[in-house]
Amino acid sequence: MAPELFAEQYWARRPLLTRAADTGNSFTDLLDLPAVDELLSRRGLRTPFLRIAKDGAVVDAKRFTASGGAGAEIADQVSSDAVLRLFADGSTVVLQGLHRLWPPLIEFADQLAADLGHPTQVNAYVTPPSSQGFSPHYDVHDVFVLQVAGEKHWTIHEPVLPDPLRTQVWTERADEVAAAAAREPVIDAVLRPGDALYLPRGYLHSAKALGAISAHLTVGIHSVTRWAAAESVLDLVRTLAAEDRALRGSLPLGVDLADPDVLADDVAAVVEGLRGWLGRVDPAEVADRLRARTWAQVRAEPVAPLAQASAAAAVTAETALRLRRRLRCTLRDGDDGRVTLLAGRRTHSFPAEVRPALAELLAVGELKAGDLPGLDPAERLTLARRLVTESIATVPGATLPSTGHAAAREDASGPGR
């Protein structure tokens, strides 16, 4: 399906079930069951990166965490043997925040967020045969469900609250959710490996594993909403209106706050005053606040700190500089004669004379340090070092000298491990 068609007909509107036979997809390159075992047994996971549930109830974390032993006495580390007992007893394992833990999903989620324009997260749900982890509920973000292994029976119902906000969680409407889940579903289907299901926020859903271990990825899309814009507007009004002396004025001496009628005129004056300040809100400033909030939630390409630091120290005119992938950037001219680079969640200030060089890097994406325009040779190298150490650009292919430990690690990961 073309992205434009999905955006027009499904995004934030209605569910979409797509079969592997139609797309040729398989999601085992993102995660498979052996990878789940590795995460649970050898990666030193801690809560809240793992959650366990059974029959709609969340299991107390103390039942599957323990100290890591000598030198790692942190008490909330995942105990693989405890997870084994719970899983064998029918509990669902939920690996949370895999977009921060598992390299294939780091790349996948970061690129997806860049494509969609909305922040993403990834969880994995691994359910024993013939078991159900969670009762019918809704999420406050859109999701893509990607079936990785086994089969899972999904039941989808219409929302009880369309487009819920993050503060409007399903537990506040548990009775409505339970009643709606008893009605005719809009989707009643078994997902098999390679199948994908899109659910806009608010759609009720529950799933039950069938005859084997079932695993699926839930890719959560944290939509940037009009309400987020409203929050930014209200934040601005709160700041602007504080300059209004009339709104700062004290209520009468001896005011009786228990009598609403006493406050009627003051409340009316406040509402009218705020209405005036609402009209002064600059849409550009609201957009900038939304940008800052959203960009802070979307990660750029991870960098290798040691390799990039070494490359920065050794930069020459022939060193290639590549704009850090998925780093959202924009240039702005400041009133102080300097230029500001907004890059992801950070703001960088540069002398005005480097603007042509920054603009060229943002335009072409990659160039040699010696080709940074508008600067003399020494200034080019100085700027190149700063761009790398500030993680705005990276040196492609930068590596550290081998010390022999890589071979030892490779041997340790072989059949005898």
**411/407 Cα distance (integer angstroms):** 6
CB 300 within 8 A of CB 324: yes
Comparing 71-80, 100-109, 112-121, 299-308, the range with the smallest average pLDDT is 71-80
Percent of the chain having pLDDT more than 90?
80
| DSSP 8-state assignment for residue 407 | H
| DSSP 8-state assignment for residue 168 | S
Amino acid at site 406: A
CB 77 within 8 A of CB 46: yes
Give 298-321 pLDDT, tens digit per residue: 889 999 999 999 999 999 999 999
Mean pLDDT of the chain: 92
| Annotation: CATH topology of 3-221 | Jelly Rolls (2.60.120)
**Distance set, CA 397 to CA 147, 215, 243, 303, 364 (Å):** 34, 35, 53, 11, 19
118: left (phi over 0), alpha (psi -120 to 50) or beta: beta
pTM, 2 dp: 0.85
Whether residue 413 is predicted with pLDDT greater than 60 in this model: the reply is: no
Give 138-170 pLDDT, tens digit per residue: 999 999 999 999 999 999 999 999 999 999 999
Percent of the chain having pLDDT more than 70?
96
| Annotation: CATH topology of 305-394 | Outer Surface Protein A; domain 3 (3.90.930)
According to DSSP, the residues that pair with 344 across neighbouring strands are none
Amino acid at site 124: A
So where are the chain's domains? 3-221, 226-293, 305-394
CB 348 within 8 A of CB 388: no
Whether residue 410 is predicted with pLDDT greater than 80 in this model: the reply is: no
Q: Catalogue the E-assigned strands of 131-191.
A: 142-149, 152-157, 187-191
DSSP 27-55: -TTT--HHHHHHHHHHS--BTTSEEEEET
Average pLDDT over every residue of 238-258? 91
